[in-house]
Amino acid sequence: MIAVHLKGAFCVTQPAAKVMKENNYGRIIFTSSTSGLYGNFGQTNYGAAKLGVVGIMNTLKLEMAKYDVKVNTIAPTAWTRMTEDIIPEEMGKKVKAKFNVPLVVYLCSEDNQETGKTFVMGAGYYGRTAIVCAPGACLGDADRDIAVEEIRDNFAQIDSLENAEPANSGSDIFKYMAPLLS
């Protein structure tokens, strides 16, 4: 699973990215899965590989931005041999792979200026999904030890996704730490 879905994505992208960099233009679309984004019983190895592809996208979008290379990920849903045991046939007949094509074509077009985004789709539904970061709770003063009881007492705030925003890079979390770092 890792060799095919994660390393395979990396190995075909690396030479393509080199050419796109030389041409100062390109579009890269990775294929993830809702099994990686949200989980699916019995697909731990597949889900891990497919979420790893999102990790490649998250870094590659930053590295390729100055070359006008847009990097996005799709997580398509379709009735296939892999899903025929989990999608009922009546529903499966409506979840045709062809409905995933229009979004991919748009993301590959010059009109698309979005990068670093993940989209889910199926049966004509298209939507964005994201890894988000929320304000959480700032405890202590970035010097003193923090007691487990403080975590317990503030866990509702730590766990809340209220006012969560998509993260564009790992450094986005520093804005939430700002009160402790100043």
The reply to whether 65 and 85 lie within a common domain is yes
- Is 53 in contact with 6 (CB distance < 8 Å)? yes
Out of 86, 107, 129, a domain closes at: 129
| Per-residue pLDDT in tens (0 to 9) along the chain, 182 residues | 899 999 999 999 999 999 999 999 999 999 999 999 999 888 899 999 999 999 999 999 999 999 999 999 999 987 677 776 777 777 777 788 899 999 999 999 999 999 999 999 988 999 999 999 999 999 999 999 999 999 999 999 999 999 999 988 888 888 888 888 87
Q: Which residues contact 105 (CB under 8 A, 6 or more apart)?
A: none
The reply to whether 118 and 140 lie within a common domain is no
The verdict on pTM exceeding 0.75 is yes
pLDDT on residue 151: 97
The reply to whether 34 and 122 lie within a common domain is yes
- H/E run at residue 70: strand 69-76
Domain span at residue 90 reads 2-129
The reply to whether 142 and 175 lie within a common domain is yes
Among the listed residues 25, 46, 67, 176, the single catalytic one is 46
What is the tally of structural domains in the chain?
2
The reply to whether 46 belongs to the active site is: yes
For the beta carbon of residue 181, count every other beta carbon within 10 angstroms. Answer: 9
- H/E run at residue 48: helix 44-64
The reply to whether 93 and 158 lie within a common domain is no
CATH for 107: 3.40.50.720
The reply to whether 32 and 57 lie within a common domain is yes
The reply to whether 111 and 141 lie within a common domain is no
Amino acid letter at 67?
Answer: Y
The reply to whether 110 and 36 lie within a common domain is yes
